[in-house]
Amino acid sequence: MNSEKLFAESKKVMPAGVSSPVRAFKPYPFFVEKGVGSKIYDVDGNSYIDYCLAYGPLILGHANEKLVQDVSAQLAIGSAYGAPTENEIKLANEVIDRIPAAEMVRFCNSGTEATMSAIRVARGFTGKNKIVKFEGGYHGAHDYCLVKGGSGAACKPDSAGIPEDTTKNTLSVPFNDEEAMIELIEKEGDNIACIIMEVVMGNIGCVEPKNGFLEFLRKITKENNIILIFDEVITGFRLSKGGAGQYFNIKPDMVTLGKIVGGGLPMGAFCGKKEIMEIVAPNGPVYQAGTFSGNPISVQAGLSTFKQLDSEFYKNLNGNGDYLRKNIKSIIEDLKLDVSPVGLGSMFQIYFNPNEVLNYDDAKASDADRFLVYFRELLKEGVFIPPSQFECNFISSAHTKEDLDKTLEAINKSLKVAFEI
| Residues with a known catalytic role | 138, 231, 259
Give the three-state DSSP class for 263.
coil
Give the H or E element holding residue 335.
helix 311-335
Q: Which residues contact 43 (CB under 8 A, 6 or more apart)?
A: 2, 3, 6, 30, 31, 32, 33
Nearest to 50 by CA among 351, 358, 385, 283: 385
Closest CA relative to residue 361, chosen from 235, 212, 176: 176
From residue 370, give the alpha-carbon distance in Å to each of 97, 206, 367. 44, 18, 6
Q: Are strands 130-134 and 170-173 parallel, antiparallel or unpaired?
A: parallel
How far is residue 417's CA from residue 419's CA, in Å, rounded to a whole number? 5
Q: Output DSSP code: residue 37.
A: B
> What's the gap between Cα 416 and its chain centre?
30
Give the residues across from 271 on adjacent strands. 105, 255
H/E stretch holding 270:
strand 268-272
CB 215 within 8 A of CB 203: no
DSSP secondary structure, 197-245, as one string: EESSBTTSS-BPPPTTHHHHHHHHHHHTT-EEEEE-TTTTTTSSTTHHH
For residue 318, the SS3 value is helix
398 alpha carbon, distance to own chain's centre: 20
Q: In the 8-state DSSP scheme, what is residue 29?
A: P
How far from the centroid of its chain's Cα atoms is residue 257's Cα? 9
Longest dimension (CA), the chain: 64
CB atoms within 10 A of CB 311: 9
DSSP 260: G
Positions of E strands within 83-191: 104-108, 130-134, 147-149, 155-157, 170-173
Cα dihedral 143/148/154/157 (nearest 10): -40
